[in-house]
Each structure stands twice: as C-alpha cells, then as structure tokens.
Structure 1
Amino acid sequence: MNMTVASVSGMRTGIDSVVRVSPAGLSVRGRDEVLLCASLFPFRIPREEWKPRLDAVRESGYQVIDVYLPWNFHEVAPGEWDFTGRRDVGTFLDLAHDAGLAVIARPGPYICSEWDGGALPAWLTLENGLRIRDADPQFLAHVEQWFARALPIIADRQADVGGAVIAVQLENELDFFDTADRPGYLTALRDLALASGITVPLIACAGQGDMSGATGGVDGVTPTFNFYPDDDWSDLEPLVRRYADMLAEQGLPLLITETNRAHRTLRRLLVSGARVIAPYLQASGYNFGYTPSVGNWGDPGGFMTHDYDFDGYLSPDGEPRAEYTEARVMAAVVRTLGAELARATVEAAPDGYRTEAPTSTSPSRLVLAGGGTLLGIPNLGDGDADAVLPAHGGLPDVTVRLLPKSCTLVTRDMPLERFGLPGILALTTADLVGADGTGVVLSARGTSVVAFSLGSAAAETPAAVPAASIGTVPPAATGVVLAELAAPEPGTPVRTVLTLGRTAWRVTVWHPDDLPASDGSVRTVPTAQDAQPAVLTEGTRLDLASRTGHTTRHDVAPTSESLGVHRGRVHYATEVSSTETLVIEEACDIVDLALDGRVLPTIARFGATELIPTNGAARLDATVETWGHANFDDARLPALRLGSLRGIGRVWGVAAEEDVSGMWTIDGPGQWAGDPAPLPVLGGWSSTRVGVPVTYRRRLAVDGIHHHALRFGTVPGTISVEVDGRTHVVSAVDPWLHLAPGEGHDIAVSFAHQPSALAGATLFRLRELQGWDVEPQPDSALLALATADAPGTETGLPLELQPGEEAWLDIPVPEGGLSLRFEGSHVRVSVFAAGELLGRVWLEDAARPRFTGGDAGRVLVPASWNTGRVRVLVRGAAGGDAPVLNAVLAG
C-alpha cells in the first residue's frame, strides 16, 4: 500500500465544509432540517430509468438518497475497470443533483446490500494470507486502488463544490464482522478518503448498535445506526431515545442510516430524536446479471432473489405503492416544522396519553425549538382504538381516534407567528402538513381535533363553529377554540374557519391521497390491476450449444475464481472408479453431478460436506454455477463465510472408515462421581445436569499421512471440537470436521449436556481425487451465447427435457416493461435480453434452497431493454418429476 496517505491523519477537524454534523443532524449551508433518505441504487436500475426514478423520490418529499458504489461492479476483473454505461455512477450523481436530491455516498469497500460478496471482488481471497475488512496491508493495497478510482468521482460532486454529496460512508456495519484491528482499519479508510479530496463528513454505520465496532473510535468518523425493529415492537421508543441521549452527550445527532420502510415506524423514530431517517429499501430495484448474494438472514443461508424488493414505496419497476402516500405526508410534516423540528429535544412522555390499545411502553415527545411539542401515539393493534389526551392548557380531556397499525402525531402549544399567523396552535391530532399567512393545512384519514388559542392575548369569548361544516366540542375556557373535524373524503378536502372574537384561522384538511407535494403536484398512486398475464407457448429452439467442451487438465479441482470465473459456472470431470464413496467438501453454489451419465439431484447446501456413493461408476461430471458470493459472514457453512470461494470444492475418495462412537472419556462439573472415568459412547452419557458443559475425549487412529474427516451423527446446534489443542466449531447443518495429515491424535468435544445428543461419530480416511478436465464458463461466455446468431426450429411449450439436458429458446414477448413468470417443474431458467442476464428462476424442485428478498419467481424485462424477444437457457434437474417447462406468463 502507498502509505503516503498517512500524512493526512488527524486532519479531519481542520476541514471546512458546507456540511456540518451538529446536534440538529447533517446541516447543509447552515440549514437545519430532519432529512428523509431513500436508498436508490443505479446498478439495480437500467440507465434509461435513472431520471424518472430520481424524480419519483423527489416527488415523495424525501430530500436525500443513499447510493452504494459496489467495488466489484466497477472492477469487473482484476485491474479491469468500468465506469461507463450502466456503471457511469458520476452521471447518476449529477442527475441526482439536477433532481434536487442530496446524496449520502457509500463506496464501501464492503457494502453488504445483499449484493454478490458485499461488493468485495471474488478474487481477493485467492491471495495467500489476505485478511478482508481489516488493517491488512495486502487488503488495503487493493482498497487503495478502488478508492483511487471511486472517491474522485464522489469528491468532484460534493456539496462543497456545488454537488449533491453531503456525506461519505466508510465501510458498512463493521460491528457484525470480527475485525482484528478496527481502529487501524478505519483510520486507513479515513486517510484514503481525505487524501482523495473528501471534505464532507465521513460516517460509519453500526448494524447492531456497537458504535465502536463500526467506527473503531476513530477521530473524524461520525457514528450512525441501522435499526431494523419489528414494526409492532413496543420498546422501540426507549431504545432509540437511549441512543439519542448517548450521542447528545457527545454533541452528536442520532443519524439512522438504515431502518424499516413503514412510515408508522418512521414516525416513531422521528419523535424519538432521529435527525436522519433512511429507510432501506424505499426504492426497490433488480439484481441484473450474476449479482445476487447468498447468505444473510439465517436458517442458515438463502439465495437472494434477482427481484430486490422489501416492499418499499417504489416497486422494482418504479411504480408507487400505498406507502408512497405516507411518505409524502411525513415529508410534509418535516418540511412544515423545519429547523424547529431538527433542533428539538426528545423526552419520555409517560403522561402524554391514555389508551387500552397496544402501544409503546414509553412514548416519545419532541419539545420543538421554537415552542410546542410533537407527541407520537402508536396503535400497534389490528383494530381502531381510542386514546385520551389529558386536559392541558385550558383544554379538556380530548379523545383521539387511532387507526390500526398507525402512529398519530399530536402537535401542541406551537406558536404560529413564524408562519405569519396569530396565536398558538394549541392542539391538532391531524398531521400538520403546511402553514402560511393564509391558514393551516392538515392531513388525516379519519376524524381529528384542532384547537387554537391566543396565548397571553386578552381573553375573548370563543365563537361557535358552524355545525354544518364540522362537529364542535365545547371549549373548556375562554381564549381557546376547539373543534372536531370530519374525515376528509378523497378528492374533497374539509375546509373551515375557526374564530375567537376578531381572530380567525382558516383550516384545510386533506385526505393523504390528495396531498399536494411541495411543488404543488399531485401524484396518484395507481390502483392494483387484475389484468391477466399473456400466456406464451411459442418459441424457437436454437441449434446452439450451451458450452464449448474445450477443457484443460488440472491435478486437483480448481476453484471457480482461480479460473477467472468470478460469476458464471465451471464444468468438471474426473475418474472415480478407484473409490466406492466420495466425500465432497465446500461445493457451491448450485452443484449438478452425474455418475456415468446418471444425473443426481442438485446440491445447493452452501458448501456442506456431502457423502456420495459411486455405485461402481467410473466417471464423475459436475457443473457448478455461482449464484453469488456471501454478503454476510456466517461460520456455520463454508460458502456463507465472507470471502469464501466457489466451485466443486475438494473431492475425496474414501479409503477406509471406522466407527469411533465408543471409548470416549467424559468430564464436566459433577458429571461423574470419581476415578476411573467412565467410557460412554459419544453423546451417550445420561445425567440430569442438562445444559451443564460437558466434554468427551479420546484418541483417534489417524496415521499422520492421510487426510481424514470426522462425521458426527447429529449436532445440537453447535459444538466445540478441540483438535490437538486447536478449537473448531461444528454446526448441525454441516456436522463434519476435516483433519489434515497429523491432526486428530487427541480430540475433545464440548457442548452443553443433552442426553444422546451426538449419536456417535465416524472417521473416514481420505484420498484426494487427481486428474480433472475443467471448462470454465464465466458470465461473459454465457452472455456471448445469449447474443449469438443461431438457426433454430419453431417449437411450442411444454418443453420436456432429460435431467442434465440444456436447451436455448428464443421466445417472443409483448412490448413494454414486463414481468415474466414460468410454469413447470424441475427446471432452472436463465433469461437474457439486451446483452444482460435478466434473472434466474428455479421451478418446483425439492433440492431448491430457500430464497430471500423479493419475488423468486419473477424476471423483470425493462421496457428500454425489450427487443420483442428474450433468450432463455433451460436446464433439467433430477430428483422428482420429469423436467418440463410448460409456459411463460408475461404481464
């Protein structure tokens, strides 16, 4: 690494930027405001749709977008960089600025985002000893090359030089990862950013609340937080206030850089003190190409769908959803309250309301800087409910109707002078979405209550409100007027005038669906359409091979990445006649095996060890496709480790096996009475001390020459296995432990005692298979086939295939933007158009893994990429019904 950047260490506090971090949040050019931020990623949207998608975010009222820059999207192969076309992030940032949106740029180097490898290039861990996401010179040398290309694009578009970027995030949720030297790592990233000309604030987000774990405690890096609560969690407010208070003691704001999408939750965050609120993922997208990840979100494991959608307010094809309306309302509240909201202080509000509805255990209230308060009243239940606001400021108890799954914002005691209006807004249970010299603008779905007072002005006899327009509630005291407002109907706002003597307030209540944006525009959320999709059953089967058949010889099976296949697939073949059983370790992601042409059910178990009888076969063929690299770090399965490699893994023949279930000694607190130590079978000790740590020990008959593998019968969650003094963790989903030559003479197995938990163990002596014929097929080779000219034969669907058979089809499709779905069984379908892989689906197969994210059955065809046909690669799978593609649905 070029360590000349070290000279800028410690300079952060001396940088003068138009963006400052203050208790009011991220303030740009002296403007204090709460910022609403929508994630919007150019790499998940066709370039032709960048501008309309940015315009849609702006029209929602959100002021900011956060933008990841995926390293491996731009370094497409080692040293091969691309910032053109769909990868022209500079143009995207310029368009964001043109749309009036600010940007939080997130260049990583690791981004997560359920993206292939979290954006870390797949070849990094081919380097011996390289430690990712750490202060490792080998890794940082690569990061420096990435930052040298990405950060100048950001620096040239900072707010400090008239651009959109108001902050730059370093790394992403580092507190989830076991980084050995956090301060050293974050210091290096900070210094690289400063050396690249970044002058706006640097931030680092905590994924599970560990601020030091995210920032390393490095000077000049502001901590932010990612909260993903259950939307019905009653303890959200006190948790968020705790972080807000902790940060306030350091003079810092609470910046929430990722959270849920439902605006009822976002309102609770607002009243609990958040100054940046960035729901992930409000603007959905699509993982084109071989870019989804594997991992994340437990079980363990899952394939991330190409459809990248968590029900945000914009669908993957850009259509607004119901939550889009809620965004416009919340944005209007933020805009109306302005700097007073950003400068507010947060407090618990145990006396704020009374209700029988499921609600917060400790409600939050903001004390606005210019006077007044904003109280949040969550209704976490499924039905309507009432809340009672206690008598206050001359008003009686007021009953508020709470809609289900909502958070009502109650404004009280707010002076109206700054809006050019007289008196005080004593109370409104509708959302305050506007105010100026002409009156007050509210928004509500149901009935609401509003009250005005003259404050210290001379008391006047309150005037009655015309019953023909709204209901009235008798005022509790002179100098206050209180009225119940009818629920507005869509298209028909409620308008009235409330008066106290010679003072009058005009009030308009909009239905949220009608609320104009800040520029006066009204965007209508389309209603769901019940149109039936077109059923496509015609196509052309192409005379086009799905691979070249050109192989090279390797002594042992290579990883995909070592062959230059960072995305795509690899074909392997070897002789297996010398063994009756195979042990395959770390094969992933989609593994199709055939023994003498007999196709086996697909394996997609994230690298878990497989034991496969050869049944006398002489030849093994395998096709291994990379779905994506792990974006998280899960130690339970090999392919879920961040930085793990792909391919067939290591393939062994079994030379011998031995049952080693017996002759284990046992020790643990009080587990046995005295010498001699008992010799139970592994896991067979019976004791009432369930849950107490217990250890089984024995020697294994390893020869010091061969590799061995130890397979446990069952594993209760995870167990700790000490081999010759070195500790390993073995999990239930992969109950195997590999022993290199010389390892395993002494072994100890420890876990919380569960009677009969392990069900014994077997020791296998292994011999690695030699002599492999290998054909790499990177994504570029597959894309070339997807655009190649080839003759074909007209054919109709259903298309029946044999297990392991592949076929290319050209299928005519209707014009415009489409969703394609496929009907069939035991086939995998890859869909191509406009030189891109649009997506992959896997139909009706017991071997199919769990899919996470969006719609696993949908392939999106953007209108701008629709040439009137798609090219489809169909592969048949074994293990159930005969492979068949019955139809394609387009709509």
Structure 2
Amino acid sequence: MSELTIGEKDFLLDGEPYQILSGALHYFRVHPDLWADRIHKARLMGLNTIETYVPWNAHSPSRGEFVTEGGLDLERFLKLVAAEGMHAIVRPGPYICAEWSNGGLPPWLLRIPGIGLRRSEPQYLEAVTEYLESVYRIVAPLQIDRGGPVFLVQIENEYGAYGSDKEYLAELARVTREAGITVPLNTIDQPQPDMLADGSLPGLHMTASFGSRSTERFRTLREFQPTGPLMCMEFWNGWFDSWGFHHHTTTVEDSDTALDEILSAGGSVNFYMFHGGTNFGMTNGANDKGAYVPLVTSYDYDAPLDEAGNPTAKYHAFRKTIAKYAPVPDEVPAEATPAPGFSVVFTEKAGLLGSVGSLGEPVAADVAPTYEELGQDTGFVLYETSIEGRAPGVLVIEEEVRDRAYVYIDGVPVGVMARDAHERAIRLPLAGSTLSILVEDQGRVNYGERLGEAKGLIGPAWLNGEKLLGWTARPLDVDLLPSLDLSGRMTDNGPTVLAAEFELDAPSDLFLTTDDMGKGLAWINGFNLGRYWRKGPTQTLYVPGPVTRAGKNRLVVLELEAMVDDDAASFVDGLRLGQTEF
C-alpha cells in the first residue's frame, strides 16, 4: 500500500518528493481492446500516470442506470493502468467539458422542471450524488492506499470559468469523501485571478490549465496557493478541431519549450491530450460564443500519439525532454505502417424517409416538440405536418433551429436551415400536401452559458404568418440502420442509406476517406464511426482494427446530402486530418 500527500513544495509519494508525469487518455474515446496499447505507449514516453475524465451521459443514458460494459468499463481501464505499473488521476466532473456532448451532463437532466445545472440546486445535487456514488463504487477500491493506481481525484472542472457557488463545490467534496475517497482532491482552473478565486475551495489542491508561458502561469498560481506542488493539470499541447475550420496544430518547438519550463520548475504535468482518440457515434460537443460551432469526429488533438495510436514528432520530442528529469524506458514504440487502401462498391441503396417506420414511432403534437419533450437525446427527429391548400411562401421557425433542418415538400428537397449560419427561415417555392423537416442535432454545447439547451425546432413554425399546427414528430434511432435489410426498399430524393461488403485477410485499422462524400454517418460491422462532412477539415473516419474481422465486413453509410460518386467508397492508407491553415 502507498500514499500520496500534498507536501510544502512537492507531491509526496510515501513521504518522498514525486513529480507527476501524466497523460490524458479518455477510455470512452478509444476502443477497449486498444486501451492497453495506448497505456503502454504512454509509459514508453516516460509518463508515470494516466488521467481520464468520466462521462456521466455515456454511463447514465437514463436516470438510475450506470453502464459499465465494453468501452465504458472504467474498472478494467484503471486495472490496465495498474498493470502497466502506472498511477491514475480520475476526473469525474460531473461536468467535464472535454469537447464532449453537453460537457458530459446527461440530457435527461434537462427534462427535470426547474433544475439548475452546476450549482447547489437540490434536484441537481440529488442526481449528481447518485452519479458520483456510482463512480466511486468503482474508484474507491482502486485507490493507492488500497493497492490500486488512483492517487488523485478532481472536484468539478474549470468551475471558475462558469460559476462561483462555493456551497456546490463543498457538497461535491463532501459526497466524494463520504463515498470513501481518501486520496487528495484537486480543482483545476485557467490561471486567471477571478477563475482561480471562484473555482477553488479550502482543502482542495489548486491546479492550472494552459499551453504556453508556463513560468508566468505558475507564478499566478503560486500567488493564490503559496505552498504545495505546482501542477499543470491540462497542458494544452494541441487543440481540437471544428467543422469548417482548419486542423489545429501547435509546433513541436513551442510545446516542447513550454513543457521544459514546467519540468525545470519542478512542476508536475498532465498532457492534454496524450492520446485524443475519436468522438465515435454522435458524441462530439460544440461551442457557441455567438455562433454555433460543432466539433469534428476526430479528437486527434495534434497529440503526441495520433488518433490511430501512432507516435508523432511531438512524442519523440517530449520523450527526450522528459528524459532530462526522469527515467525513460529504452523501448520505443513502432512507427505507423500504411493501412490497406482499396475501394468498395455499394450494392444496396434505400431512401431514409421511406425507412423511418423501422427507426421510431411518431408522436402527435399541436406544436413541434423538442428533443427533450420526445425523450430523444441526440441524432435525428423527423417532423411532419399538412400544408394542404396553403400557398407557397416563407417558412419561419420562431426562435431557432437546433441544429440543422432539411426541408421537404412531398419528399422533394427544398433546402436547409442551418444554425451555424443563423438560419431559421426558408422560402417554400412549391405547393404540396406534406411538409417534412428532418432535424439533426450536430452536437450539444459543451462549454459556457448555452450548456444544457434544448434541441429540435425551438418555438412554433409559421408559414406566411400563419402558425402551423398538427405535427407528428418521429425520433429516429439511426443506429438501427446497419441491421436493416435494405433490399426492396425504394430510393427517393431525400437522404440515402448505402451498404457495401468487403473482405479482409485479417483485422486491421482502416481509414474511410470522405473526400467525395457530403454529410452523414458511417458504420463498420454495426459500429458507429461518427459523423463526416465535406466542410472538413477532417477527410477520414478512423476504423479501429478490433471493429473489423477476417473475412466479410459491412460498411453502411447514411448520406444526408449528396456524394460525388454514390456507387463506391474508398479506404486510404492513413489519417487525413485536413489543412492546417486557411
């Protein structure tokens, strides 16, 4: 058994000074069969600790549920960290940001009338307590003083950027201690005076988040915390990407200089990210600081280990710098080898609008209901109403479209209303019988004031100044598409579902190129690879090797717009993350 304590200047491991060299690795963004590989490569870079968030929304898709199977097996992940001889930092939030949908807060919270997020509001605290107790039932037995790897647990996450409710922070700390967590507790904030003041609590160790000017940032942190170890809990050695922007990178030289400043000052560090992984499915978050900007599927983050788990130039530079301050293993991970490149022919095609009866049941309402009213957490809802006898004109959504609405009249595409372009009106040039609006949630806001907002058509819809009533809303479970028999289903003018089969000699990482595709989702053998969009910057969807198999494999694509060539798809030999500047 061991013990980590907070010393006058250092972390103390069994009474001896200990410099934490940690890397962020989100188990929920990496296929579980690849966890051990990524953890091992962290140790080979010279790290002694793995840090992870815990995503409440993934573990608890409904209240009272706490899923721990497959890629959500936190216990297995932490035991793999221990098996590698490393320590662990657990950051359960409940809010995690992480560029993850809704910052990790489950959408069912939003259906509780009067709830107040991230503050000492009774309904929220009751739900948070249930969640944290579930997490700590896993974490508590795996603490370092019980022979496990966990030696630090975080309370909330960059709270000073959001609020200043000290009662809330104190309640989280109380629940954590009463659940059996005995290791030191920390907070994290950007090293700005107001954030450090608002996000901290006596008895919790303050850490900082930054990616440059390390000496200056530590000086600010020291002003607020005169004693104890200095730690950059999020060393931003890269950055995330958003649709329609360039692929963000930081230079090896700049990041390495900032790292050297941290380590030479005796500071501890957690690389954010060491290995970013992927926003599989529809788990990506979004930002909205006046304009809605959803995040891409790749969470490569320009990290030392790329999205596919291969070492980069940063990996080798950081490894060399770490070796100045701590022992580094002699073993070096192998460089990337090219993945198989080939094309496949789509042999099945069907229209999505003609298949919706297999994906969900319709709900009747006078005014188009939100996702929250429908109990739909993410994905798609098809709204329909009669416009029989109405003249063509302008359709207006009273408040906002969240987030992208494809408009059809009797199945004929009319156009799109896009939240990222602040669009909520469209001209209907045709008379017809049925108005259909397919809405896509492109990712829930994960940071700032718009955290926890509703999705769908927000406010009544009006045509030529007259309110449209008598809607049906059909939540669609598009993850059922790979199991559908597409044969015999008709294609139409709306979104298309396409399927192809291909053979592999052995399981292998693959990279589906999306250069000639429009916008949509793709699955391999039923595994949701995530979203693609011609806006880029990302031009590939990463397929983890364990998702594939020797012999026959099946690709299914939901194309919402249009492909350059809807007869075939291609796989390329590696990641294509897009241009790095405009």
Question: Is TM more than 0.5 here?
Answer: yes
Cα distance, 1:211 vs. partner?
A: 6.4
Give the TM-score normalised by the residue count of structure 2.
Answer: 0.86
Question: Secondary structure, in 3 states, of the residue corresponding to 1:286?
Answer: coil
Structure 1 counterpart of 2:114, from 101, 123, 129: 129
Q: 1:841 matched to which residue of 2?
A: 532
Report the AA paired with residue 311 of structure 1.
D
Cα distance between partner residues in 2 of 1:279 and 1:615: 53
| 1:172 partnered with 2:165 | no
Question: Secondary structure, in 3 states, of the residue corresponding to 1:76?
Answer: coil
Q: 1:56 matched to which residue of 2?
A: 41
Contact in 1 for aligned 2:520/2:560 (Cα 8 Å): no
| 1:787 partnered with 2:483 | yes
Cα distance between partner residues in 2 of 1:543 and 1:595: 15
Report the AA paired with residue 481 of structure 2.
L
Aligned length: 545
Cα distance between partner residues in 2 of 1:223 and 1:52: 31
Question: Secondary structure, in 3 states, of the residue corresponding to 1:24?
Answer: coil
Cα distance between partner residues in 2 of 1:570 and 1:167: 42
Report the AA paired with residue 875 of structure 1.
E
Contact in 1 for aligned 2:169/2:201 (Cα 8 Å): yes
Structure 2 counterpart of 1:335, from 319, 322, 326: 326
Q: Which runs of 5+ in 2 are unaligned?
A: 238-254, 574-582
Cα distance, 1:562 vs. partner?
A: 2.2
**Deviations along 1:132-168, whole A, 9 cap, x unmatched?**
1111111111101111201221111111211111111
Cα distance, 1:73 vs. partner?
A: 0.8
Contact in 1 for aligned 2:108/2:372 (Cα 8 Å): yes
| 1:591 partnered with 2:282 | no
Cα distance between partner residues in 2 of 1:85 and 1:841: 24
Cα distance between partner residues in 2 of 1:280 and 1:241: 17
Structure of greater Rg? 1
Structure 2 counterpart of 1:622, from 437, 442, 461: 437
> By percentage of residues, which structure has more strand?
1
Cα distance between partner residues in 2 of 1:95 and 1:882: 44
Structure 2 counterpart of 1:613, from 408, 427, 435: 427
Q: 2:217 matched to which residue of 1?
A: 240
Cα distance between partner residues in 2 of 1:862 and 1:136: 41
Contact in 2 for aligned 1:586/1:606 (Cα 8 Å): no
Cα distance between partner residues in 1 of 2:546 and 2:336: 24
| 1:219 partnered with 2:202 | yes
Distance 1:870 1:335, change over 3 A: same
Question: Secondary structure, in 3 states, of the residue corresponding to 2:407?
Answer: strand
Q: 1:379 matched to which residue of 2?
A: none
Cα distance between partner residues in 1 of 2:268 and 2:525: 39
Structure 1 counterpart of 2:296, from 305, 324, 348: 305
Cα distance between partner residues in 2 of 1:238 and 1:161: 36
Q: Which runs of 5+ in 1 are unaligned?
A: 1-15, 230-235, 337-516, 635-640, 657-766, 794-799
Q: 1:670 matched to which residue of 2?
A: none
Cα distance, 1:81 vs. partner?
A: 2.3
Report the AA paired with residue 240 of structure 1.
R
Cα distance between partner residues in 2 of 1:128 and 1:768: 26
Q: 1:263 matched to which residue of 2?
A: 256
| 1:522 partnered with 2:331 | yes
Cα distance, 1:130 vs. partner?
A: 1.1
Contact in 1 for aligned 2:24/2:271 (Cα 8 Å): yes
Distance 1:208 1:571, change over 3 A: farther
* Aligned ranges 1:389-468 → 2 under 5 Å: none
Cα distance between partner residues in 2 of 1:215 and 1:192: 20
Q: 1:188 matched to which residue of 2?
A: 171
| 1:533 partnered with 2:341 | yes
Give the TM-score normalised by the residue count of structure 1.
Answer: 0.57
Report the AA paired with residue 830 of structure 1.
L
Cα distance between partner residues in 2 of 1:237 and 1:140: 36
| 1:574 partnered with 2:385 | yes
| 1:875 partnered with 2:566 | no
Contact in 1 for aligned 2:263/2:325 (Cα 8 Å): no
Question: Secondary structure, in 3 states, of the residue corresponding to 2:402?
Answer: coil
Cα distance between partner residues in 2 of 1:228 and 1:546: 48
Structure 1 counterpart of 2:229, from 228, 236, 253: 253
Cα distance, 1:123 vs. partner?
A: 2.1
Question: Secondary structure, in 3 states, of the residue corresponding to 1:62?
Answer: coil
Distance 1:842 1:53, change over 3 A: same
Cα distance, 1:293 vs. partner?
A: 0.9
| 1:324 partnered with 2:16 | no
Distance 1:532 1:189, change over 3 A: closer
Q: 1:775 matched to which residue of 2?
A: 474
Cα distance, 1:75 vs. partner?
A: 0.3
**Deviations along 1:656-699, whole A, 9 cap, x unmatched?**
6xxxxxxxxxxxxxxxxxxxxxxxxxxxxxxxxxxxxxxxxxxx
Report the AA paired with residue 306 of structure 1.
T
**Deviations along 1:573-616, whole A, 9 cap, x unmatched?**
01345574322122222321113433133333259351223346
Question: Secondary structure, in 3 states, of the residue corresponding to 1:78?
Answer: coil
Q: 2:286 matched to which residue of 1?
A: 294
Cα distance between partner residues in 2 of 1:792 and 1:26: 65
Cα distance between partner residues in 1 of 2:543 and 2:340: 17
Contact in 2 for aligned 1:802/1:882 (Cα 8 Å): no
**Deviations along 1:550-575, whole A, 9 cap, x unmatched?**
42311111111321211221110013
Contact in 2 for aligned 1:175/1:208 (Cα 8 Å): no
Structure 2 counterpart of 1:812, from 498, 502, 512: 502
Cα distance, 1:333 vs. partner?
A: 1.7
Identity of aligned residues (%): 27
Q: Which has the higher contact order (CA 8 A, sep 6+)?
A: 2
Contact in 1 for aligned 2:92/2:135 (Cα 8 Å): yes
Distance 1:552 1:532, change over 3 A: closer
Distance 1:532 1:883, change over 3 A: closer
Q: 1:865 matched to which residue of 2?
A: 547
Cα distance between partner residues in 2 of 1:224 and 1:211: 14
Cα distance, 1:104 vs. partner?
A: 0.9
Q: 2:249 matched to which residue of 1?
A: none
Choose 103-112 or 321-330, whichever is displaced more: 321-330
Superposed CA RMSD in Å reads: 2.9
Contact in 2 for aligned 1:295/1:303 (Cα 8 Å): yes
Question: Secondary structure, in 3 states, of the residue corresponding to 1:132?
Answer: coil
* Aligned ranges 1:14-25 → 2 under 5 Å: 18-25=3-10
Structure 2 counterpart of 1:77, from 62, 78, 97: 62
Question: Secondary structure, in 3 states, of the residue corresponding to 1:600?
Answer: strand
Q: 1:564 matched to which residue of 2?
A: 375
Contact in 1 for aligned 2:346/2:499 (Cα 8 Å): no
Cα distance between partner residues in 1 of 2:386 and 2:191: 49
| 1:68 partnered with 2:59 | no
Cα distance, 1:67 vs. partner?
A: 0.8
Choose 621-630 or 588-597, whichever is displaced more: 588-597
Report the AA paired with residue 282 of structure 1.
F
Cα distance between partner residues in 1 of 2:343 and 2:461: 47
Cα distance between partner residues in 2 of 1:73 and 1:285: 16
**Deviations along 1:284-320, whole A, 9 cap, x unmatched?**
2111121111216x68332211111111111122111
Cα distance between partner residues in 2 of 1:546 and 1:54: 42
Report the AA paired with residue 236 of structure 2.
N
Cα distance, 1:238 vs. partner?
A: 4.9
Contact in 1 for aligned 2:44/2:333 (Cα 8 Å): no
Contact in 2 for aligned 1:39/1:279 (Cα 8 Å): yes
Cα distance between partner residues in 2 of 1:275 and 1:803: 59
Question: Secondary structure, in 3 states, of the residue corresponding to 1:603?
Answer: strand
Report the AA paired with residue 223 of structure 2.
M
Contact in 1 for aligned 2:362/2:474 (Cα 8 Å): yes
Cα distance between partner residues in 1 of 2:520 and 2:567: 9
Q: 2:270 matched to which residue of 1?
A: 278
Structure 2 counterpart of 1:151, from 86, 111, 136: 136
